[in-house]
Amino acid sequence: MASFLHRLRKGRTRHPDHDRAQPDQRVAVIGFGRFGSSLANELMRRGWDVLGIDSDARLVQKYSDQLTHAAVADATDPDVLGQLGVHEFTSAVVGIGSDIEASILISSNLLEAGVPNIWAKAISRQHGQILERLGVPHVVLPEHEMGERVAHLVTGRMLDFIEFDDDYALVKTVAPSVATGKPLGQSQVRARHDVTVVGIKRPGEDFTHATAETVVAKGDIIVVTGKTRAVEAFTELP
């Protein structure tokens, strides 16, 4: 799944002159709930320019210093989105889930505005199906997941992601080719990529511990641990 986070990695670090950011370096995040605010902060940490929108002035004030731009606005009104210039963005996230009507209206507004890359939060499979029928290209069901975790999942081949306080991560991913076809001890994944394969799952089988003698096959699911950036880089290998 091609993700806006992967494409937006070309974005620049935040600085005072934000208006010169190119459209593909910006993302609009609508809704400052737990999901939206966490995702917006993670995008800022990665160097993106983020326009945050919410109808709650208290929430906008709370997060305004953390984002590139923040606006108190009713995103269910297409004219308001037009005034904010959201139609110029190539990516937008609808973080509103509890108000299904608002979620649908905002998603529809973004589609009509021609925003090509839309991610929308759904609180149920039925909600998600409605968004998909509208034509929303990316629907997520985060449930108990935080935005930061989802931000990692949508970047590429990660199937699950957990990060710990000491910048250490545990990831479930499809095995890249550098780890397949020979025992892990011979492929030297740990020495070459600074990550450790701790588990493996083949189709139709349960997860099992990985050892130096374990041979990973193409299509196997593996569990990998290591420093966050090392794990991110490893999961992006072909």
What is this structure's pTM? Answer: 0.56
Q: What is the pLDDT of residues 19-65, one digit of tens each?
A: 444 446 789 999 999 889 989 998 998 888 999 999 999 999 999 99
Lowest mean pLDDT among 58-67, 93-102, 165-174, 204-213: 165-174
The answer to which of 20-24, 77-81, 161-165 has the lowest mean pLDDT is 20-24
* Sheet of 49-54, strand order: 69-72, 49-54, 26-30, 91-94, 117-121, 138-140
